[in-house]
Amino acid sequence: MNYLFTSESVSEGHPDKVADQISDALLDEFLAYDSNSKVACETLVTTGQVVLAGEVKSDAYVDLMDVARRVINRIGYTKSAYKFDGDSCGVFSAIHEQSADINRGVEREDEMNQGAGDQGMMFGYASNETDNYMPLSLDLSHLLLIELAAIRREGKEMTYLRPDSKSQVTIEYNEDNVPVRVHTIVISTQHDEFIVPTEQTHEAQMVADEKMLSIIFEDVKNILIPRVIAKLPERLKALFDDKLILHVNPTGKFVIGGPHGDTGLTGRKIIVDTYGGKGGHGGGAFSGKDPSKVDRSAAYAARHIAKNLVAAGVSDEVLVQVSYAIGVAQPVSIYVNTYGKSHVALSDAEIASRIGAIFDMRPKAIEKRLKLRNPIYEETAAYGHMGRKPCTVVKTFSSKYFPKPVVREVELFTWEKLDYVDAVKEAFGL
């Protein structure tokens, strides 16, 4: 019997994602001026207010307020009508120095023996159902909102769009766990009140709201979804049919949104950030944390392992778990689940035992292998940390506290590179 699986995504303007992006922008700023910075910063956003909190150990001095305002404006909160905009919101900082007890447990005379910044377990997942080895339901959820944001910034169609939005995609699978069709799409998007009631009555307001909803529904159906489908490979285009169920702004009007409509906090979208409910998650958030925190770096490394194992043909689907003890360099455990889809004559335990010989999972080795001591994190903080396209970019950081801008060429999403496929094939005789 066929079954359904669902994932969701949220836009860069969702309040939790606004918080994530501010936290990661602050991290980037510290790393740009001091690559050895230790950072764990959290952000709260609400009506007209940003609160920054956390711990930092760095030789750099960062204008926290300026960074937060830049991010908010870049996202698109630039109008007072939103009750939250980059130029006028208050920014309060409660960031202080990192605990010496934690730092003592992490740093070592030999940097390669650097201990894990915390205990915990991290997961990496990959599947060959999409070209980027991600679950299809999550991949489409992200693509819908990336395209919606592109339409908003172009300003030619759907000109009523505001920054806050959410998506949800349900995929129908057959008994062989193969996607057969896109079953349901849900889009909720914040918008201007672009149709006003003819008179100040409840009935007139309902009529105006229904007209707005009708226009938004038709635009999502006839503009957004066709633009997304056009960018898909043929095998995925074929999954869309006339039986698709589409829900747009199911509650009706969505004018009040963003941090004014809902308080946002760093780290509240960990499933959106990873695999949309497929695989597993250890519970640790990513944004605002430097790579000594294995919540982040080891999760990236586990994704790197899983993706390269699938790409090398070890299995059609792989889940990798790694765990650490705070202050200890070597992982406590490595676990692999191939869901019965392995193509090698080895048990999952035997596959796990070979991973350590291919991938050095000590925290400092992960930092070096994936080049994580660079300002690469603001780009990760919306539309998922996994499944993104690795690329090299030039980033410029300017501060009134430094005489010259810092220009850095950095690699983004290094954990998505398929640079270990040959080593995996050799290790598994493929």
Binding site listing? 14, 16, 42, 55, 98, 164-166, 253-254, 262, 268-269, 285, 289, 293
- Quickly count helices (H) and strands (E) in the chain: 13, 13
Alpha carbon distance 282, 123 (integer Å): 6
Binding residue positions for L-methionine:
55, 98, 262, 293
End-to-end CA distance of the chain: 34
Please state, as a whole number, how many other Cβ atoms lie within 10 Å of the Cβ of residue 312. Answer: 21
**Residue in 403, 285, 401 with CA at minimum distance from that of residue 30:** 401
According to DSSP, residue 389 is labeled: P
- Residue 13's region, left for phi above 0, alpha for psi from -120 to 50, else beta, is alpha
At 360, the amino acid letter reads: D
Binding residue positions for Mg(2+):
16
**Containing H/E element for 403?**
none
- The DSSP bridge partners found for residue 169 are 7, 185
**Residue in 412, 345, 422, 358 with CA at minimum distance from that of residue 385:** 412
Q: How far is Cα of residue 186 from the mean position of the Cα atoms in its chain?
A: 19
Alpha carbon distance 335, 132 (integer Å): 23
Alpha carbon distance 255, 252 (integer Å): 10
* DSSP three-state, residue 158: coil
**In which residue are the tokens 């770096």 written?**
297
Binding residue positions for K(+):
42
Q: Where are the beta strands (DSSP E) in 338-405?
A: 391-397
Instruction: Read off the tokens for 292.
Output: 């000594």
Binding residue positions for ATP:
14, 164-166, 253-254, 262, 268-269, 285, 289
Alpha carbon distance 188, 316 (integer Å): 33
In angstroms, the Cα distances linking 76 to 249, 258, 289, 352 are 20, 11, 24, 45
In angstroms, the Cα distances linking 111 to 78, 99, 378 are 44, 19, 26
Alpha carbon distance 238, 195 (integer Å): 37
Interior angle at CA 152, CA 196 and CA 5, nearest 5: 100
